[in-house]
Amino acid sequence: MTVLTEPTTDVVRRSSHRVWAILALVLLADALDVIDATVTNIAAPTIADELHGGVSLIKWLGPAYMLAMGVLLLVGGRLGDKFGQRRLFLIGMGGFTLASAVAGFSPDPTLLIAARIAQGAFGALLIPQGMAIMTKAFSRDMLAKAFGLFGPVLGLSSVAGPVLAGFIISADLFGLSWRPIFLINLILGSIGLVLAAKILPRDGGDRTTVVDGWGSGLLAVAMIGLLYGLIEGSTNGWSVVPVTSITVGVLFFAAFAYRQRTAAHPLIMPSLLKNRGFTSAMLVGLAVFAAGTGLIFVLSLFLQEGLHASPRDASLGLVPLTVGLIAAAFAAMGGLVSKFGRRLVVIGLAVALAGCGWVLVLVDHFGTSLSIWALAPAFIVVGIGSGLSFTTIPTVALGDATPDEAGSASGSLSSIQQLASAIGSAAVTSVFFHAATSGLAHAMKVTLIVVLAITALSLPIVALMPRQAPSEPQQ
């Protein structure tokens, strides 16, 4: 007869230590993603100047990463289900680390952009595995504690990215200028890789899981076509090449949409595309994430190029905006979303409009003689509005989703956020540089007016979103 005994204190302690180590590893992976998505906001002008990449390189640095991440994020989750989360986590972390090394040592713009695409692609394999691993390995109580740590860690990471970039570039460590912002990942990624190999539980995956490779390929070609055409056309003129590229992008996106309706195992559940509340939220998210992400990038360019701030001072100048964004996001998730539902989106967009209008008045009055710190109060308002809307839109979007649709809906929204950020960064930056021929103050004003218009036009669509967020968190 087998006698069941309680686990010893040492076993319980070792198990507890392993769980906390897994949580630390997953948080490290997510922090690396957030930091690398934001470091080029500050570093782009310096990188473009030293590699002689010009405006085109500035436009590609952020979107290249976000594009690859957005296209492959859903696929990364499916591949983890099929081949095992541990295996995909190790591949993602190893590939991300190697791509970071290539980025840090890149001698020319082409290789750097290729490395940024590789970073985003491997990041898309890495990030989805963390949540799946935690769900399997953690108790319900531990999961609650873990989710409570994600907000602060990712919030701090979003601040740390630009600030770290600013200080590293200004310090010019070992005469390497901007390169250590990527090379630091060699240390962090190697630590993560060794830790993952030691502590992550082994899982064989489910080989019956179907991955829609065709759908992913169609989406990739569509987004690359649209992004390349947009950047090439706005930089070198609207010749046959960029127009053709955009046309190809639109056609492939139509093919992707058709694929999602007809495939046996689509990336996005067809029922979600018929859900008016969800599709409305996706449209609002596309507009708001694109405009908001693009604006933050252009503000960093204006501080450096227009107000002649150093990378360090520019990064510190954006801290009020980031702090406002994080504080508002915490307030939203702390109960405001459940209380106000989609009305909180309207409030957030209205506050963002007020903040952008405030910045517009300051730039119009003072031009490039404006002090960075005079912008701080307006930046806080912009951040609060962005934090409320960025956090609330994905949450409320799930309000009409069924439990069976929640996973697909959440993953789709994450991809939409990345793709919108990629397109927005490229589009809004293109507006800024196109208007810069009449001066950087004029360029900043035109950019703000465009962002204000996009934000205002998205407001009526909010009325079609679900009224309330889900009553229970959707995992």
**CA dihedral (54, 59, 62, 67) positive or negative:** negative
pLDDT, one tens digit per residue, over 183-204 is 999 999 999 999 999 989 888 8
Q: Is the predicted pLDDT of residue 14 greater than 60, yes or no? A: no
> If you classify domain 269-475 with CATH, what class do you get?
mainly alpha
Question: Model confidence at 137, in pLDDT bands (50, 70, 90)?
Answer: confident
Q: Say what angle helices 440-462 and 403-435 make with each other, to 10 degrees.
A: 150
pLDDT, one tens digit per residue, over 294-306 is 999 999 999 999 9
Which residue type does 361 have? V
Contact predicate 368/440, CB 8 Å: yes
Q: Could you tell me the CA-to-CA distances from 28 to 2, 20, 79, 191, 193 in Å, in that order?
A: 41, 12, 21, 10, 11
Cα separation, 330 vs 391, whole angstroms:
9
pLDDT, one tens digit per residue, over 144-163 is 667 666 666 776 777 778 88
Residues in the chain: 475
Cα separation, 211 vs 267, whole angstroms:
8
Q: Model's pTM, two decimal places?
A: 0.85
- DSSP assigned state of 51: H
Cα separation, 462 vs 90, whole angstroms:
40
The domain 10-205 having CATH identifier 3.90.180.10: the answer here is no
pLDDT, one tens digit per residue, over 390-420 is 888 988 888 887 777 666 777 777 888 888 8
Q: Mark residue 172 as left, alpha or beta (left: phi above 0; alpha: psi -120 to 50; beta: remaining).
A: left
Question: Model confidence at 18, in pLDDT bands (50, 70, 90)?
Answer: confident
Contact predicate 385/352, CB 8 Å: yes
Half-sphere exposure at residue 148, Cβ-oriented, CA atoms within 13 angstroms: 6
Find, among 126, 140, 142, 31, the residue nearest to 85 by Cα: 126
Which percentage of the chain shows pLDDT scores above 90?
Answer: 45
Helices assigned H by DSSP within 367-439: 376-397, 403-435
Residues 6 or more apart in contact with residue 144 via CB below 8 angstroms = none
Which percentage of the chain shows pLDDT scores above 70?
Answer: 92
Chain centre to alpha carbon of residue 113: 17
Which residue type does 452 have? L
Three-state DSSP class for residue 4: coil
- Please tell me the predicted confidence (pLDDT) of residue 151: 65
Q: Is the predicted pLDDT of residue 472 greater than 80, yes or no? A: no
**CA dihedral (300, 303, 309, 315) positive or negative:** negative
Cα separation, 244 vs 253, whole angstroms:
14
Residues 6 or more apart in contact with residue 306 via CB below 8 angstroms = 368, 440, 441, 443, 444
Residues 6 or more apart in contact with residue 445 via CB below 8 angstroms = 360, 363, 364
Average pLDDT in the chain: 87
What HEC string does 104-138 produce?
HHCCCHHHHHHHHHHHHHHHHHHHHHHHHHHHHHC
**CA dihedral (248, 250, 251, 255) positive or negative:** positive
- Please tell me the predicted confidence (pLDDT) of residue 57: 92
